[in-house]
């Protein structure tokens, strides 16, 4: 038979897990809404690619009001048309929040299909983060 302490431990564990899940969903929705409501596009550059725990990430930077912002995005490894791995060293479009430029995402154009973990705002039709810009 389960003691009261064991029941409380189980209830506390389930409650903590639910709270964490609610926080993750809330954070995802609020950052996506921020990009939808306040998103603008600028130029940036992919400057690094690295593995973390078997997953590949590209790092990119962009400038807003002369301040440099750096972010990263998980991708499946791919090769650009010119043979460059994951377009490292290439200029790209960056979608960021004008209220919080740390909230950003890279637009890889025709290589967007290699981005992992689709973000909520990417489900919106014609999102600036998913449009294949042609220069």
Domain count along the chain: 1
Share of the chain above pLDDT 90, in %: 43
The rounded distance, in Å, linking the Cα atoms of 46 and 111 is 13
Mean pLDDT rounded to a whole number for the chain? 84
In a domain, residue 132? The reply is no
- DSSP 8-class letter at 87: T
Share of the chain above pLDDT 70, in %: 86
Which residues span the domain enclosing 68?
4-123
- DSSP 8-class letter at 90: -
> Residues 49-81: pLDDT tens digits?
999 988 999 999 999 999 999 999 999 999 999
Spatial strand order of the sheet with 39-52 comes to 67-75, 55-64, 39-52, 91-97, 104-107
């Amino acid at each position: 038979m389960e003691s009261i302490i064991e029941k409380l431990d189980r209830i506390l564990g389930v409650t903590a897990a639910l709270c964490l899940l609610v926080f993750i969903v809330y954070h995802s929705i609020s950052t996506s809404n921020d990009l939808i409501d306040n998103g603008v596009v600028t130029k940036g550059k992919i400057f690094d690619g690295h593995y973390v725990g078997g997953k590949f990430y590209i790092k990119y930077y962009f400038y807003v009001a002369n301040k440099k912002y750096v972010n990263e995005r998980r991708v499946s490894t791919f090769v650009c048309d010119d043979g460059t791995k994951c377009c490292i060293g290439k200029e790209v479009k960056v979608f960021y929040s004008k209220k919080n430029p740390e909230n950003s995402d890279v637009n890889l154009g025709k290589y967007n299909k290699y981005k992992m973990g689709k973000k909520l705002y990417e489900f919106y039709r014609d999102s600036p983060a998913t449009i294949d810009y042609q220069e």
